[in-house]
Amino acid sequence: MIPKISPSLTRAFCSAAALAVMMHRDGGAQAISLPIQLVEARFYVPVALRSGPVRWFILDTGAQPTLIDSRVADSASIQSRAAGATTGAGGKSTSIADADGVTLRIASVELGPLSARIAPLDSLLGPSSGRAIPGIVGSRFFREHVVELDPLASVMRVFAPETFVYHGTGVEVPLELVDDIPFTQGWIEAPNGKRYAARMLVDIGAKANLLVAEPFIHARGLDGVFGASVTTEFGAGMGGETHYQFVRAASIGLSGHEQTRLRSPVIGLSSGGTLTSTRYDALLGAEYLAHFRMIFDYARKRLILEPLVSTTEPSVFDMSGLFIVAPDSGHRRLTVKSVLAESPAARAGIRAGDVITKIDAIAGGALTLAAARQQLR
């Protein structure tokens, strides 16, 4: 149940030809261009480990360090050592291992050698993503490069920081970098017009407009100020299942930049211990950021945003009451994981554990998880 991303933002390049690297001049510097995929408000980039096959890793400004799925690490003969457990979104923890001297190749862009974290990413994130999750490219990639993401063109451009010069007219948003994780200041506007200033972690790994942490919710008394809400599962994080109370805000935006205002967005208020950090008040996610061409320029502590699509159309949300996953190894068998009480799905008699065989005239086996969720919006 993920708020709607425009269909034009979900185009993907999957053929070998699409992995060809192109060179061009832009911003006063030579750039390497490579394909990206944007599927259900999540960015994926093509990555190879050693001489292995190309796999599509999640691209995530909020991840530190870079992560590799346990089975993928085994297949690449990456040696690791147990490192205890880690937490993240979700109320639990996940066992992890560490590996040194790992080198990734993102198209022709080399990253490493670096220390990587090994974790069962695919078993955690795959069922709710509807595709294999072999790894996550995290903060170090953004520290070492200027990274431009163009959601409409499905292209990422990578520049050397020392030669990059920006000549556009985009909004320059200041970033505070803490251990290579980017933070900025923004606002959340309630339906009554009151604005709440918030410290936001700029997190393209968050599949939403904005996800608000529980300490901030309680400190600002945000429970009940947004009116109607839907509380539901929202996939998983490194801490296991996540739950949010989804509400409609009047707007969200970045402090000092009224032109970044997104009107009538659906945002998530953390529920059940999903987000308990006090390092940030909210995660500014990919659904919001995909309204813009983004340039992450950590060397100059800034994020440049160039508008691509309308920020005045209200977000659309799946109101069926279903949370669908694809738990089998092929991620194609669509299964109902949970059903909200009193929802249309509950009234129709759908139950947790049911397998979806058809939506309208489309057979379940012909639908990806993302396509099935799109049909229900």
Question: Which tens digit of pLDDT belongs to each residue from 309-325?
Answer: 888 887 887 878 888 88
Residue 48's CB is within 10 A of a number of other CB atoms, namely 17
Q: Is 370 helix (H, G, I), strand (E, B) or coil?
A: helix
pLDDT at 3 over 80: no
Q: Is 148 helix (H, G, I), strand (E, B) or coil?
A: strand
Mean pLDDT within 320-347: 82
**In this structure, are residues 45 and 205 in contact, taking their beta carbons and an 8 Å threshold?**
no
**In this structure, are residues 125 and 235 in contact, taking their beta carbons and an 8 Å threshold?**
yes
Q: How far apart are CA 41 and CA 53, in angstroms?
A: 25
> What's the burial of 188, exposed, middle or buried (CB within 10 Å: 0-12/13-18/19+)?
buried
pLDDT at 338 over 70: yes
Long-range CB contacts for residues 306-313, cutoff 8 Å, separation at least 24? 306/168, 306/169, 306/170, 306/171, 307/259, 308/150, 308/151, 308/152, 309/6, 309/8, 309/9, 309/152, 311/260, 311/261, 311/262, 311/263, 312/263, 313/263, 313/264
**pLDDT range class, residue 266, cuts 50, 70, 90:** very high
pLDDT at 46 over 70: yes
Of residues 206 and 15, the one with the higher pLDDT is: 206
Q: Is the peptide bond before 127 cis (omega within 30 degrees of 0)?
A: no
Question: Which tens digit of pLDDT belongs to each residue from 345-373?
Answer: 899 999 998 998 888 877 767 778 888 88
Question: Which tens digit of pLDDT belongs to each residue from 126-184?
Answer: 888 888 999 999 999 999 999 999 999 999 999 999 999 999 999 999 999 999 999 99
- DSSP letter for 299, please: G
**In this structure, are residues 242 and 89 in contact, taking their beta carbons and an 8 Å threshold?**
yes
**pLDDT range class, residue 333, cuts 50, 70, 90:** confident
pLDDT of 330: 55
Between the CA of residue 57 and those of 68, 332, 354, 361, what are the distances in Å?
A: 9, 19, 30, 32
Q: Is 213 helix (H, G, I), strand (E, B) or coil?
A: coil
Closest CA to 126 of 71, 188, 195: 71
Closest CA to 199 of 282, 102, 112, 80: 282
Mean pLDDT within 257-270: 96
pLDDT of 341: 87
Q: Record the pTM.
A: 0.86
Residue 349's CB is within 10 A of a number of other CB atoms, namely 8
Q: How far apart are CA 107 and CA 19, in angstroms?
A: 7
**pLDDT range class, residue 7, cuts 50, 70, 90:** very low
Q: How far apart are CA 133 and CA 344, in angstroms?
A: 31
Question: Which tens digit of pLDDT belongs to each residue from 237-250?
Answer: 656 678 999 999 99
Positive or negative, the CA dihedral 276, 277, 278, 284 is negative
**pLDDT range class, residue 90, cuts 50, 70, 90:** low
**In this structure, are residues 296 and 146 in contact, taking their beta carbons and an 8 Å threshold?**
yes
Closest CA to 157 of 27, 274, 306: 27
Residue-level length of the chain: 377
Mean pLDDT within 56-85: 92
Question: Which tens digit of pLDDT belongs to each residue from 206-222?
Answer: 999 999 999 999 999 99
